A = this chain, B = another copy of it.
């Protein structure tokens, strides 16, 4: 098993099924590789076509639940990367991520929610996992999920 997946399992985590459209044709690629860079589509907290978490952070969900949802997004992204690349060890650097947070007005803790994604990536890749990122608020979200993340990573 790959080095990254071994670490993932040591954390007690497992990959979900790769993202597929729940009730809509996804006419796009979950991951597109160009010139040594993997461009990763926006993922939510999905297991295959199943939406695992819905709701607005600060209203329906606590900050902690938002953090956990962002970790589930990371896992869905890793499943898509494994599907595209064959082996997660081919990801050599995480470059950039945008996490769009769907929250109640006045919530403001977008950065703490998105740490659910970033903490796992850094736990798995170490310093190579440290990325630039943004955590803007989003308006009404796709499938009413609390957070979606897109990212780019260097691959070999």
Q: Which residues of A contact B (CB under 8 A)?
A: 21, 24-32, 34-36, 39-42, 58, 93, 95-98, 100-112, 115, 118-119, 122, 130-144, 148, 150, 152, 154
Contacts and interface: CB of A to CB of B under 8 A. Distances in A.
Contacts of A115: 24-25, 27
Contact of A132 (B109, B131, B136, B150): B150
19 contacts: A25-B115, A27-B118, A27-B122, A39-B131, A41-B133, A42-B133, A42-B134, A58-B140, A96-B150, A98-B150, A105-B140, A110-B142, A111-B143, A134-B148, A136-B141, A137-B138, A137-B142, A138-B138, A139-B139
Contacts of A42: 98, 133-136
A134 B25 contact: no
Task: Count copies of this chain in the complex.
Answer: 3
What does DSSP make chain A's interface, helix, strand, loop or mixed?
mixed
A66 B102 CA distance: 21
A30 B132 contact: yes
A57 to B, nearest CB: 9
Given A32-B96, A95-B34, A95-B39, A137 B135 contact: no
